[in-house]
Chain A
Amino acid sequence: MNQTQTSTGPILTTDGIPLKVSLKKAERINKIRAFLLVLPLLAFILITFLVPIGDMLARSVDDRQINTVFPKTFEVYKKWDRQGLPSEEVYKTMFFELKNSEGYSVGKASTRMNYSKSGWKSLLKKSKRKFKKIEEGPFKEQMIAIDKKWADPEYWLALGQMVDPTTMGYYLNAVDLKYDSSKNIVQQKENRRIYNKTWIKTFKVSLLVTLFCLLLGYPISYLLATLPMKYSNLLMICVLLPFWTSLLVRTVAWMVMLQQKGVLNNLLVMSNLIADENRFQLMYNQTAVVIVMTQILLPFMVLPLYSVMKTISPTYMRAALNLGASPMHAFYKIYMPNSVPGVSAGCLLVFIIAIGYYITPELVGGKDGQMVGNWIAYHLKTTLNWGLCASLGAILLAMMTVLYWAYNKIVGIENIKLG
Chain B
Amino acid sequence: MKKAIKAAFFGLISIAFVGSATADITFVSWGGAYTASQQKAYIDTYSKGSSITVENYNGGLGEIKAQVEAGNVTWDVVDVLPDQAITGCDEGLFVKVDQSEFINDMVVPPVSDCVVPQIFWAYTAFYDKAAFPGKKPKNIKDFFDVKKFPGKRGIHTWANALIEMALVADGVKASKVYEVMSTPEGIDRAFAKLDTIKDHVVFWSAGSKPLELVSSGEVVMALAYNGRIGAAILSEGKNFEYIWDATVLEQEYLVAIKGGNEKEALEFMAHASTAESNAEQAKYIPYGPMRKSSINIIKKGEPWFITSSGNIDILPHMPTTPKVLKRAVIGDPVWWADNGAEVHERFGAWKGS
- Does the CB pair B62–A363 fall under 8 Å? no
A133 within 8 A of B: no
- Does the CB pair B338–A119 fall under 8 Å? yes
> Which chain B positions have C-beta within 8 A of A110?
90
- Does the CB pair B348–A107 fall under 8 Å? no
- Does the CB pair B217–A118 fall under 8 Å? no
> Which chain A positions have C-beta within 8 A of B61?
381-382, 384
The chain A residue sitting closest to B191, CB to CB, is A191
Q: A111 to B89, alpha carbons, bound, how many Å? A: 12
Instruction: Find residues 173-211 in chain B having any chain A CB closer than 8 Å to their own CB.
Output: 191, 201-203, 205-206
A192 within 8 A of B: yes
Instruction: Find residues 50-70 in chain A having any chain B CB closer than 8 Å to their own CB.
Output: none
> Which chain A positions have C-beta within 8 A of B191?
191
B345 within 8 A of A: yes
Question: Beta-carbon contacts of A256-288 to B below 8 Å, as 1s and 0s?
Answer: 000111000000000000000000000010000
The chain B residue sitting closest to A381, CB to CB, is B60
Instruction: Find residues 97-131 in chain A having any chain B CB closer than 8 Å to their own CB.
Output: 103-104, 106-108, 110-111, 114-115, 118-122, 125
Which of these binds chain B: A215-223, A292-300, A365-373, A409-417?
A365-373
Which of these binds chain B: A37-45, A193-201, A333-341, A342-350?
A193-201
> Which chain A positions have C-beta within 8 A of B344?
378, 382-383
The chain B residue sitting closest to A383, CB to CB, is B341
- Does the CB pair A385–B60 fall under 8 Å? no
B236 within 8 A of A: no
Q: A368 to B201, alpha carbons, bound, how many Å? A: 12
The chain A residue sitting closest to B89, CB to CB, is A107
Say whether, besides A110-B90, A367-B351, A381-B58, A261 and B216 are in contact (CB < 8 Å).
yes
- Does the CB pair A375–B91 fall under 8 Å? no
Say whether, besides A111-B90, A368-B351, A381 and B346 are in contact (CB < 8 Å).
no
Q: A114 to B336, alpha carbons, bound, how many Å? A: 11
- Does the CB pair A382–B351 fall under 8 Å? no
Which residue of A114, A375, A380 is within 8 Å of B62 (Cβ)? A380
The chain A residue sitting closest to B337, CB to CB, is A121
A89 within 8 A of B: no
Please give the distance in Å from A223's CB to the nearest CB on chain B: 37
Q: A380 to B61, alpha carbons, bound, how many Å? A: 8
Which residue of A106, A366, A385 is within 8 Å of B202 (Cβ)? A366
> Which chain A positions have C-beta within 8 A of B216?
259, 261
Which residue of A111, A121, A363 is within 8 Å of B205 (Cβ)? A363
- Does the CB pair A381–B92 fall under 8 Å? no
> Which chain B positions have C-beta within 8 A of A122?
334-335, 337-338
Q: A112 to B335, alpha carbons, bound, how many Å? A: 16
Question: Beta-carbon contacts of B45-83 to A below 8 Å, as 1s and 0s?
Answer: 000000000000011111101000000000000000000
Interface size on A, residues (CB 8 A): 42
Q: Which of B201, B202, B217 has the most CB of A within 10 A?
A: B202
- Does the CB pair B349–A193 fall under 8 Å? yes
Q: A192 to B65, alpha carbons, bound, how many Å? A: 26
- Does the CB pair A368–B217 fall under 8 Å? no
> Which chain B positions have C-beta within 8 A of A362?
205
Say whether, besides A194-B345, A367-B201, A104 and B337 are in contact (CB < 8 Å).
no
> Which chain A positions have C-beta within 8 A of B342?
118, 192
Q: A127 to B342, alpha carbons, bound, how many Å? A: 22
Please give the distance in Å from B100's CB to the nearest CB on chain A: 19
> Which chain A positions have C-beta within 8 A of B201?
367
B339 within 8 A of A: yes
Q: A173 to B350, alpha carbons, bound, how many Å? A: 18
Please give the distance in Å from A51's CB to the nearest CB on chain B: 12
- Does the CB pair A194–B349 fall under 8 Å? yes
> Which chain B positions have C-beta within 8 A of A367?
201, 203, 351-352
- Does the CB pair A381–B59 fall under 8 Å? yes
Say whether, besides A118-B338, A261-B217, A383-B341, A284 and B352 are in contact (CB < 8 Å).
no
Say whether, besides A261-B216, A366-B203, A384-B87, A194 and B338 are in contact (CB < 8 Å).
no
Q: A261 to B334, alpha carbons, bound, how many Å? A: 40
> Which chain B positions have C-beta within 8 A of A194?
345-346, 348-349, 352
Q: Which residues of B contact A (CB under 8 A)?
A: 58-63, 65, 87, 89-92, 152, 157, 191, 201-203, 205-206, 216-218, 334-335, 337-342, 344-346, 348-352
Known: A192-B346, A382-B340. 7 other contacts (CB 8 A): A104-B91, A111-B91, A118-B339, A191-B346, A192-B345, A193-B349, A362-B205
* 4 tightest Cβ-Cβ pairs between the two chains A and B: A381-B60, A107-B90, A104-B92, A381-B62
Q: Which residues of A contact B (CB under 8 A)?
A: 103-104, 106-108, 110-111, 114-115, 118-122, 125, 191-194, 197-198, 201, 259-261, 284, 362-363, 366-368, 370, 375, 378-386
List 18 A-B pairs, Cβ < 8 Å.
A104-B92, A107-B90, A108-B90, A114-B337, A121-B90, A122-B335, A122-B337, A194-B345, A259-B218, A363-B205, A366-B202, A381-B58, A381-B59, A381-B61, A382-B60, A382-B340, A383-B344, A386-B65
